[in-house]
Structure 1
Amino acid sequence: MASLKLNVVREGLRLAAPFRISGHVFELCDAIFVTLDDGAHRGRGEAAGVFYLNDDADHMLTAIEGVRAAIEAGPSREELRGILPAGGARNAIDAALWELEAQRSGKPVWALAGLPEPRPLLTTFTLGADDPQVMAEGARGYAQARAIKVKLTGDLDLDIARVQAIRAARPDVWLGVDANQGFAIGDLDALVAAMVDSKVSLIEQPLARGREADLQGYKSPIPIAADESALTLDDVPGLVGRFDVFNIKLDKCGGLTEGLMIARAAKDHGLEVMVGNMVCTSIGMAPGFVLGQLCDICDLDGPIFLKQDRTPGIVYRDGAAWCDDDVWGATAAVAVV
């Protein structure tokens, strides 16, 4: 690949309202936005990093500057995996390389990835943790949603009340819960039983990262997904017998290139695959939409939490997400200015 010009900036993504999960409340997300251009074509990428790994904007910017020369030398996406470790920095550069290749080749990213023409993807719409009745009203407010994911905090009785209120408000939707590491193994039987009663279809990351062995052989009637316990391709074999679903997030694994590898490896190991997201604009979400074409469960709602998204952006209609090639990965050159 010919030499490239790299530009990387920090961007503050402000949320429309505070968003609460177990142990954290988010109002602003610092992301990075990168471009790679060769004078005729330009590729773009965005990443928010992984907050619980201290992979923040400062860390991502430092990581990229440390290998600027190697990136501007024009590596392949496979070579990039040896230049930067898994994380947000590599995700942003990887996305820019994908779009750059799409423009140079005249093929959209999904075709370069060997995938069929994309289809709209049913996506979850996420409710941050709050008072049960506030969350129930939020569920009603997601009028178009056909799937809702509920953030829990680890307060068992309150979390059960939250889910019960949401199920009463929306008896029609697929429902999943995300514990964000909030529980211990001793809580799990009670949590699972209550979730069965509320017709919950997925329990995500109930235990802390590092406690995966506690789930060895645990039999749950509801599939259990690994998120914080599932970072990269190397984690796939260790999840077998402990989890049912691998939640791929491109900021965790370092980009679409590795995300596609994880999806295929996880299925080879008998795991289902989910694509998730950090808070991001449609540019950051678009590679996840490509990956979502291989996934059993999609959580692609990140841009809806922002005060302002990019234009053009992902379209949400009838509970599904649609990302046109014009958002990212277009075959026509993005103007280089």
Structure 2
Amino acid sequence: MVNPNALRLTVTAETWPIAGQFTISRGAKTEAIVVVAELSDGRFRGRGECVPYSRYGESPAAVAAVLRQFASPVADGLTRIELQRAMPAGAARNALDCAFWDLEAKRTGQPVYSLARLPPPRPLITAYTISLGTPEAMARAAHDAAGRQLLKIKLGAEGDPARLAAIRAAAPEAELIVDANEGWNPDNLAGNLASCAQAGVTLIEQPLPADADEALRAVARPVPVCADESAHDRASLSALSGKYDAVNIKLDKTGGLTEALAMAEEARQRGLSTMAGCMVATSLSMAPAMLVAQTARVADLDGPLLLARDRAEGLVYEGSLVYPPLPALWG
């Protein structure tokens, strides 16, 4: 017999155009493809969004297929806590985990931060990303964004010192962080680190490939180095010791808010500072990450700013500030 109170899981892939082109060391794209999981009990609904990433062997079709396989377990009463064991960390679990949180908030009338026993979220300064390009193109983009307090510079190609110098000249007052997206190697690592220090960079994300980051143990780090592709969930934290000073926590890697909050706490206990990061996505992806970002050294939640348009009732961005979500969006 069909349970009339069973939760219904709906899975949808959506395409959102990017404003211009987003370029990193691994390539460029002009659209963001997200997968949305929606849970409904007939009265309330909860949503979660994820961004499948080919770097981790994910695709929108495969992630959507995995989620649809969980329609029956969800209807049979699968809980958010049980989900952590039933599905591995990654984009698919992120969408469903965040949908569970949102649904619980809608059902109880309590915001997610209260359900998670967290203080009310406050507006945060978010990084704004400058895509990889020629020194001249990146300097123009940095000049246009020079009024922002925190710029994230995509590097990871030959000639990065020249890019940094041009960007610093174009935005002399902005705090700079760098993301090499695994694009450096042991031979140019020390030189690129020195260039970052000279430019006043305050944090460097994932300079080396995840499978070749042992070289970080043997080199002086004049600027703190943050793990991204080398760190996914709590199980990956122990391997960071001696190589990294910080860790970028992204819900698409952790598999949702549940693990992300636990990972942030364990990272702090291990002496690692944290960064709350994102993929290029809509405000529905950023909303739960805002809770992780509250205790992070750096918030990098500019995904919607890189899109040609965002969801209705999306996050409010005011200069460098991003504001917590309204319940109509999530949580």
Q: Does TM, normalized by the shorter one, top 0.5?
A: yes
Question: Does the alignment pair 1:292 with 2:303?
Answer: no
User: How far apart are the structure 1 equivalents of 2:69 and 2:255?
Assistant: 16
Corresponding residue for residue 156 of structure 2 = 153
RMSD between superposed Cα atoms in Å:
1.3
Aligned-partner residue type, residue 262 of structure 2: M
Question: Does the alignment pair 1:32 with 2:13?
Answer: no
Distance 1:107 1:210, change over 3 A: same
Is the 1:316–1:322 contact (alpha carbons within 8 Å) kept by the matching residues of 2? Answer: yes
Instruction: Give me the identity figure in percent.
Output: 39
Q: How does 1:200-239 map to 2 (within 5 A)?
A: 200-239=201-240
- Give the alignment's TM-score, normalised by structure 1: 0.94
User: How far apart are the structure 2 equivalents of 1:244 and 1:72?
Assistant: 43
Aligned-partner residue type, residue 171 of structure 2: R
Corresponding residue for residue 108 of structure 1 = 111
Which secondary structure does the structure 2 equivalent of 1:231 belong to? coil
Distance 1:138 1:327, change over 3 A: farther
Unaligned runs of 5+ in 2: none
Q: How does 1:117-266 map to 2 (within 5 A)?
A: 117-155=120-158, 158-266=159-267
User: How far apart are the structure 1 equivalents of 2:298 and 2:10?
Assistant: 34
Is the 1:292–1:298 contact (alpha carbons within 8 Å) kept by the matching residues of 2? Answer: yes
Where relative contact order (Cα < 8 A, 6+ residues apart) is larger, the structure is 1
**How many positions carry a matched residue from both structures?**
327
Is the 1:312–1:326 contact (alpha carbons within 8 Å) kept by the matching residues of 2? Answer: no
Aligned-partner residue type, residue 12 of structure 2: V
Is the 1:99–1:328 contact (alpha carbons within 8 Å) kept by the matching residues of 2? Answer: no
Unaligned runs of 5+ in 1: 331-337
Which secondary structure does the structure 1 equivalent of 2:43 belong to? coil
Which secondary structure does the structure 2 equivalent of 1:43 belong to? strand
Corresponding residue for residue 3 of structure 1 = 6
Quote the offset at 1:232 in angstroms.
Answer: 1.4
User: How far apart are the structure 2 equivalents of 1:266 and 1:327?
Assistant: 32
Corresponding residue for residue 333 of structure 1 = none
User: How far apart are the structure 2 equivalents of 1:306 and 1:313?
Assistant: 12
Give CA deviations for 1:230-269 in whole Å, capped at 9, x if unaligned.
1111001111111011101111110010000110000000
Give CA deviations for 1:290-324 in whole Å, capped at 9, x if unaligned.
11112111100000111110011111113111123
Quote the offset at 1:329 in angstroms.
Answer: 3.2
Aligned-partner residue type, residue 148 of structure 2: A
Give CA deviations for 1:44-80 in whole Å, capped at 9, x if unaligned.
1111122201212011011112222112333222211
User: How far apart are the structure 2 equivalents of 1:126 and 1:182?
Assistant: 17
Give CA deviations for 1:201-232 in whole Å, capped at 9, x if unaligned.
11110000112322225331200000000111
Quote the offset at 1:186 in angstroms.
Answer: 2.1
Is the 2:11–2:64 contact (alpha carbons within 8 Å) kept by the matching residues of 1? Answer: yes
Residue of structure 2 aligned with 1:12, choices 15, 20, 40? 15
Which one is further off, 293-302 or 206-215?
206-215
Which secondary structure does the structure 2 equivalent of 1:58 belong to? helix
Which one is further off, 210-219 or 270-279?
210-219
